[in-house]
Structure 1
């Protein structure tokens, strides 16, 4: 993956379903790949063509390890209250799906 991006691969490219590599990595619990994609410029606000952004997806799926990795980004530049194209925030997704730890993190004011 590193070689692809060092040679000009588009970090925000999409597959035929409109999903970016970062969303696939997060969904499939590929923490190392997620870290690398974030390092090369994929942002936590990146949305797929269906609307949800990475924060919303991490909250929806309860990806605690990835959520912790995003905390530093959230503190520096990302908005944890940014709604997706359906109007749902990461907090709403976490609460809807019953992911208590993610909900607590968001309530503690990660941004």
Structure 2
């Protein structure tokens, strides 16, 4: 009760009298209760007295989850300074970073990212913080996630969702910052093939400015060049054939000099 009502002096007295800072009683750990009610002074006392910053509620949320949800950046900072784990997921795999991005708490998003929160962590729906930023986050949150994302890491594949969502500026940023333009998704589709199938002509034209593979096969053998022919896009087919010739010339030159 004292933790939730912000009575830090009473909390101190209770601790001095032997009360445990990590005793879980309904409705939860003292630290979680204090964070839930934005009681900064109480949070400070509890952390100084050894409260576990990673203690979980029944739904696996931590004090950090709660503080992020409430938008309490000061409490978030205190918890991080005491070792709160930025990547602990709740029972749906949602991390504090997922929540910060979803709630558009940009200051907290930046705090978490600066402390090493993983942009590529996925919740139980398969979404990363970057995915959420593209669909529900603010432009600032998206920029922060892009800046900290390892765009070619195994657990990060932002080009395909950016194309699906028709996010031209994001696609351009990813390409300019070295995203693998020929990386395939789970169905074997490259970003170019994906853009062609989605009928995002402007994105196809953008991707064609880069070193795309015209013969990269999907699981069923479909390639960008084959698709261009099937849908009667001779303009794309011409550019793709030129890229194929360029690839062949480059390969021949490499073999000739080796």
What TM bracket, shorter-length normalisation?
0.7 to 0.9
Q: How many residues align?
A: 104
The whole-number CA distance in structure 2 between the counterparts of 1:30 and 1:45 is 23
The one of the two structures with greater contact order (alpha-carbon pairs below 8 A, sep at least 6) is 1
Tell me the residue number matched to 1:38: 146
Superposed CA RMSD in Å reads: 2.4
- In 2, the alpha carbon distance for the partners of 1:89 and 1:62 equals 15
Normalising by structure 1, what TM-score? 0.77
2:171 pairs with 51, 57, 67, which one? 67
Mapped partners of 2:140, 2:153: distance in 1: 18
CA positional deviation for 1:56: 1.1
What's 1:81 paired with? 182
What residue is the counterpart of 1:24 in the other structure?
132
Deviation at 1:47, TM superposition (A): 6.7
Give 1:32 deviation, angstroms. 2.2
What runs of 5+ residues in structure 1 fail to find an aligned partner?
Answer: none
Rg: which structure is higher?
A: 2
Shift of 1:61: 2.2
Q: Aligned partners of 2:111 and 2:187: how far apart in 1?
A: 35
Cα displacement (A) at 1:38: 2.1
Q: Distance in 1 between matches of 2:201 and 2:144?
A: 27
Q: CA deviation at 1:20?
A: 0.7
Q: Please give the secondary structure, in 1, of the residue aligned with 2:159.
A: helix
Q: Which runs of 5+ in 2 are unaligned?
A: 1-108, 213-258
Whole-angstrom distance in 1 between the partners of 2:170 and 2:193? 18
SS for the counterpart of 1:11 is coil
Which of 206, 229, 232 aligns to 1:105? It is 206
Deviations 1:5-47 (A, max 9, x none): 223423222212121101111233743222211222x133457
Give the conservation status (yes or no) of the 8 Å contact 1:60–1:94: yes
Partner-residue secondary structure (3-state), 2:177 = helix
